[in-house]
Amino acid sequence: MPLGEDGNGWKKKTSDIKENYDFKEVLGTGAFSEVVLAEERKTQRLVAVKCIPKKALQGKENSIENEIAVLHRIKHENIVSLEDIFESQSHLYLVMQLVSGGELFDRIVEKGFYTERDASKLIRQILDAVKYLHDMGIVHRDLKPENLLYSTMDEDSNIMISDFGLSKIEDSESVMSTACGTPGYVAPEVLAQKPYSKAVDCWSIGVISYILLCGYPPFYDENDAKLFEQILRADYEFDSPYWDDISESAKDFIRHLMEKDPSKRYTCEQALQHPWISGDTALDKNIHESVSAQIKKNFAKSKWKQAFNATAVVRHMRRLQLGTSVEAPSPITPTSPSNSHLLLPTSHPEEGEDEGEEEDGKEPQGEDSRRGSADRDSLRSCGYCCRPASRI
């Protein structure tokens, strides 16, 4: 159905969106959209406006209408909300809640103290939000660290789930089978091209939990086929010494989420009742040094444009706070796993990156080597590059 002909009352007609919003700066670009930091003229409130030219939507109307349909139904404290929708003759504008606290991995790296209990609190928020989605019949299908952003720069800020471009609203008649998501986080049944359900999100939460406790992804192989075989077999380990100080309860929690058989995999409700989440089994031992070192080694951004640049928002908010127009960029903005295999190939090294940075020696070979390279399959999506690095 063509945009503007569906009779949805929640779309507001406008001849010029800038009558309502003062556009500040571009935060990033996606496949067929641009996200702009804007100030609502009436309230001086900052928002993120997703600007979508209609001519870019020819043949893709269903895709964007799906995203809008999903977002418009969602109201949860840990999910980025769609606040308004405007439509002009040439564009569709999605006015989104602005999340200004930066990205998950940035916050962990910047901390001086980080424990299992901190990770448990993060995962609890994600489980709460995803359970809410599942109760509404919505499957996110692309949960990963770069879709997890902090609401504000406050120490106790909520973590927020963003990016519903791949979400699907389940109904009793449909069974999902489209191969989508990011391979580093995708469930075995998706790679096997089998019908799948809400359980795919629970697998992804297990992978995120794994990374939050060690700083590197559970699956890696330089060869794509072997990487997929690892995921299909759910072949992962809790490697020593990186997991030596992690509780058995945390490992048990991850095993129940990263369960190969989706019928045996924990649901969000079951995961929320696990003692590592609801009890007191998450340890208070400081694991910051080890985890942050691995995050720096295994996750890196490229200079390609992103769909949403959370770091640019943080810089803008700090400028407002400090009353200055100059703010140095964050020294590290790690968001995408080096094994995600959805990454745009790039031959350019990171800015300021020393090509001899891997002081730990050559990349280990075999199953112990869990790093990655760029993939060229049909699942390609985001503007990140990988930087293989040894954790040994």
Rounded to a whole number of angstroms, the distance between the first and last alpha carbons of the chain is 54
Helix axes 116-135, 248-257, angle to 10 degrees: 20
Complete DSSP assignment for 313-367: HHHHHHHHHHT-S--PPPS----SBTT-S-BPP--PPPTT--TT--TT-SPPPST
CA distance 207 to 123: 11
Backbone angles phi, psi at 342, to 5 degrees: -125, 20
Residue 251 identity: K
The question of whether 354 is a catalytic residue gets the answer no
CA distance 9 to 94: 14
pLDDT value for 354: 42
| pLDDT, tens digit (0-9, with 9 covering 90-100), for 77-135 | 999 988 888 989 999 898 989 988 988 999 999 988 999 999 999 999 999 999 999 99
pLDDT value for 191: 82
110 token code pair: 């910047």
Residue 128 CB: number of other CB atoms within 10 A? 16
Q: Where are the domains of the chain?
A: 11-97, 99-224+253-357+370-392
Binding site members for ATP: 55
Per-block mean pLDDT, blocks of 10 residues, the chain (392 long): 47 89 87 86 93 81 71 88 90 90 91 95 97 89 87 92 57 39 76 82 96 94 84 94 97 97 96 97 97 90 49 60 42 35 33 40 40 33 32 38
State the catalytic residue, choosing from 142, 163, 201, 375: 142
- Which residue is associated with the tokens 């159905």? 1
Complete DSSP assignment for 204-219: HHHHHHHHHHHSS-S-
Binding site members: 55
pLDDT value for 352: 40
pTM given for the model: 0.72
Residue 352 identity: G
Residue 32 CB: number of other CB atoms within 10 A? 14
Does the 11-97 domain belong in CATH 3.30.200.20? yes
SS3 of residue 201 by DSSP: helix
Q: Could you tell me the fold of the domain covering 99-224+253-357+370-392? A: Transferase(Phosphotransferase); domain 1 (1.10.510)
Contact 282, 115 (CB under 8 A): yes
| pLDDT, tens digit (0-9, with 9 covering 90-100), for 36-55 | 999 999 999 999 998 988 88
| pLDDT, tens digit (0-9, with 9 covering 90-100), for 154-178 | 999 999 998 764 444 444 333 343 4
